[in-house]
Amino acid sequence: MEPKVCAVVVTHNRLALLRECLSALEAQTRRPDRVLLVDNASTDGTGDALRAEFPAVELVSLPDNRGGAGGFQAGLEAAQAGEEEWFWLMDDDTIARSDALAALLAASAAIADLPPAPVLLASRVVWRDGRLHPMNTPGLRAQRCGPLGRERSTRPAAAGDHVRIAPGPAGGHRTPRTTAGTLLHLERRPRVHGADTAPRSRML
């Protein structure tokens, strides 16, 4: 049976970008089964526009701006009330290419039998001109604590070119979030406390 996916989008006062983001979700070759939008107390008419232009999208309106982290927390809490097992996270300036979700699900299926099962899959993120965005390059970070403190290492991971970030005003670029195009499986996530042999995150 094909897995079900809920896309969770967080927005704040960027209606033009949000329209492009949601239109890209509608244009997916494998569309998400559900789309949930978290509005971080926008004052630009986001709620009214969403109801008029994207009536199938579920709206979670927050009374105040809780930022990206707070928005995704509220979105995931609301999303888990459904039947979806995968949650596709993105900000309103993430414009997914038409094959993005299909490619992520295909990657998950290809490695499903190789333990540990994937918990997290991420797309390669590029600007509109095709340049790789360094802050959103998928990779694996290992951290361990020893007598001299913490040691960290990061290994970039190969990825398909499936998601781009829209530029900011006046020719500049908006600062993207690391949630750009991330596909998360909550039931497989490792525990935060206690000895646990839960699967490690895997990024593609």
Q: Can you tell me the distance from the alpha carbon of 96 to that of 148, in angstroms, rounded to the nearest whole number?
A: 42
C-alpha to C-alpha distance for 110 and 153, rounded to whole angstroms: 27
In a domain, 202, yes or no: no
Q: Domain for residue 182, yes or no?
A: yes
**pLDDT given at position 95:** 92
In tens, the pLDDT along 88-141 reads 999 999 999 999 999 999 988 888 887 777 788 888 888 778 887 766 666 554
Q: Give the pLDDT score at 192.
A: 32
Is 106 part of any domain?
yes
Indicate the number of domains in the chain. Answer: 1
> What pLDDT does residue 188 have?
64
Burial 161-172 (b: 16+ CB within 10 A, else e): ebbbbbeeeeee
Specify which residues 34 forms β-bridges with. Answer: 6
The domain that holds 61 is classified in CATH as: 3.90.550.10
Per-residue confidence (pLDDT) for residue 114, from 0 to 100: 79
Is 204 inside any structural domain?
Answer: no
Please check whether residue 130 lies inside any domain of the structure: yes
Residue 92, domain member (yes or no):
yes
Give the residue ranges of the chain where pLDDT is below 50. Answer: 141-178, 190-204
According to the model, what pLDDT value does residue 120 have?
83
User: Which pLDDT score, from 0 to 100, does residue 187 have?
Assistant: 74
Instruction: Let me know if residue 200 belongs to a domain.
Output: no
Cross-sheet strand order for the sheet of 124-127: 94-96, 161-165, 124-127
Q: Does residue 125 fall inside a structural domain?
A: yes
Determine the structural domain holding residue 173 and report its residue range.
Answer: 5-188
Q: Which of 130, 162, 169, 145 is nearest to 16 (CA)?
A: 169
Task: Give the DSSP H or E segment for 136.
Answer: none
pLDDT value of residue 193: 31
Between the alpha carbon of residue 75 and those of residues 2, 48, 112, 173, the distances in Å are 23, 19, 26, 25
